[in-house]
Chains A and B, each alone.
Chain A
Amino acid sequence: MRITCPFCGPRDRREFTYLGADVWAEAPGPGAGLDALDAWLHLRDNPTGEGRELWQHEGGCRAWLIVTRNMTTHEILSVDPAPGAGGKVA
């Protein structure tokens, strides 16, 4: 598997670290309540088809990326910088 980092170009999957579904990037604000925290931390759509995820190009430019992937074929459909790329999200 190869991931094309928008900053560094195509790189081996081993340079990247996986965090999880892209909901990680949308941390609820203070006072959001238990349900919002539960949904953010724990609950997942967990699709069999296309899904958006957070990966970090840890062994490269260290930018956080939104990778859109097919979970059954592992085909990578797009790679974009995460909002505020570079800041650790979780």
Chain B
Amino acid sequence: MRYSGLKVLAEGLRGNRGWTQAWREPEPRKEYDIVLIGGGGHGLSTAYYLARNHGLRNIAVLEKGWIGGGNVGRNTTIVRSNYFLPGNQEFYGLSLRLWEGLEADLNYNVMFSQRGLLNLFHSDGQRDAFARRGNAMVNAGDDGVLLDREGVRRLVPYLDFDNARFPIHGGLLHARGGTARHDAVAWGYARGADSRGVDIVQNCEVTGIRVENGAVRGVETTRGAIAARKVGIVVAGRSSQVAAMAGLRLPIESHVLQAFVTEGLKPVINHVIAFGMGHFYISQSDKGGLVFGGDLDFHASYAQRGNLPMAEHVMEAGMTLMPMIGRARVLRSWGGIMDMSPDGSPIIDRTPIDGLYLNAGWCYGGFKAVPASGWCFAHLLATDQPHEAAARYRLDRFREGRLIDEEGTGSQHNLH
């Protein structure tokens, strides 16, 4: 075991001089069995499970920047399995179970904290909808408890229960939901993959995909051509550009999502609280910062920063829900690029090109998916068969009309 409490203690006494690099920095080889484009959470977990579950080792993860510099290091770290539709239920259920064993599996502290996710409702109709969702969650093997107003008050007494527009009638508590430390998830998977022989190549941008006679042959990169039998595209907000290198046009539109963090405060918010009617959610990080966010900026964007109208809207919603945070000072805000699919659900599938595979369309919910996405994408890459938990995430489901539209908002990319 490389990391343990004892090791931390011993290193503390020796001035922390004994720690070594967590993963190698290899030169890319000329050829691999499998090349994964993108070293975000999904690319790294895919590499890890290819090695761990399928015994494959001749694999490279090519990352144009640095590990953890993309959305995996920009999200608000909420982990949950509270989905309603078949397709999503089995997938996110698997992901949550993998989260629960992740730290032991990786021997890495990802600070996974099942502090509970509370979704608030404000009307009779919304309560009925939440009761139905909670039943669906329980039937799918996950957990959900419907709380009345007093039940919510016992957990989070500091909310404004009597707000004139959105009085709080109750909430749906998903006790196994929570948060994790996003950087540690990227680093833990990177270290796990690296120690099993996977080459993680940073500062290596893929600039072209070589296709001959309908089959993939490899990639062109800023560090030279690399041949590969199989190539996986796992680039989150850049899916359309990378897929276009192989002549594919995807059902994706890229949008910016913002998040905010305040200065560190004493522990005050012990759960993840979602105020859907105000497009607002919040939790408190282990460092004490209040981490919160809202909806997309709603127009297509590749700028990793947001606009002020949405910042203002999020602040207003936060003040509506919990006026007590009004004195907290915002330290930082940032944005990340989401690949929005037409039904809000992801794609884990083959492409029309032999040996080219696609993992995309994670919208704003792909952090919690990192374990199951890697697990299922690795299964697909290794066996050429879809994993049963991801079998509905097909690329052709849009054309076929088999949408997995959790929000029921129809085929408009920015409405999910």
> Interface of A with B (CB < 8 Å)?
1, 12-14, 17-21, 34-35, 38-39, 41-46, 48, 51, 53, 55, 71-74, 90
Contacts and interface: CB of A to CB of B under 8 A. Distances in A.
Interface string B289-301: 0000000001111
B398 A42 contact: yes
A71 B301 CA distance: 5
20 contacts: A14-B309, A18-B414, A20-B253, A34-B399, A41-B342, A41-B411, A43-B249, A43-B251, A44-B249, A45-B240, A45-B249, A46-B252, A46-B253, A46-B300, A51-B300, A71-B300, A71-B301, A71-B303, A73-B303, A90-B412
Task: Among A39, A41, A46, find the residue whose CB has the most chain B CB atoms closer than 10 A.
Answer: A46
A70 to B, nearest CB: 9
A41 B342 CA distance: 8
B203 interface: no
A39 B399 CA distance: 8
A90 B409 CA distance: 13
Contact of A38 (B298, B399, B412): B399
Given A12-B309, A42-B398, 15 more contacts: A1-B309, A17-B298, A18-B298, A38-B399, A43-B250, A44-B249, A44-B250, A46-B240, A46-B254, A48-B241, A53-B299, A53-B300, A71-B301, A74-B301, A74-B303
Contact of B399 (A42, A46, A51, A74): A42
Interface in B356-379: none
A40 B205 CA distance: 31
Contact of B250 (A17, A35, A46, A53): A46
A71 B399 contact: no
B3 interface: no
A19 B412 contact: yes
Contact of A21 (B253, B298, B302, B303): B253
Main secondary structure, interface of A, reads mixed
B413 A44 contact: yes
Contacts of B342: 41-42
A1 B305 CA distance: 13
Contacts of B240: 44-46
Interface in B393-413: 398-399, 411-413
Interface in B251-273: 251-254
A73 B302 CA distance: 8
Interface in B50-93: none
B306 to A, nearest CB: 10
Nearest to A90: B412
Interface residues of B, number: 23
B4 interface: no
Contacts of B241: 46, 48
Nearest to A34: B399
Contacts of A13: 307, 309
Contacts of B399: 34-35, 38, 42
Contacts of B309: 1, 12-14
Contacts of A45: 240, 249
Contacts of B413: 20, 44
A53 B342 CA distance: 16
Nearest to B343: A42
Interface in B306-359: 307, 309, 342
Contacts of A72: 301-303
B333 to A, nearest CB: 16
Contacts of B252: 44, 46
A21 B299 CA distance: 10
Interface string B228-260: 000000000000110000000111111000000
Contacts of A71: 254, 300-303
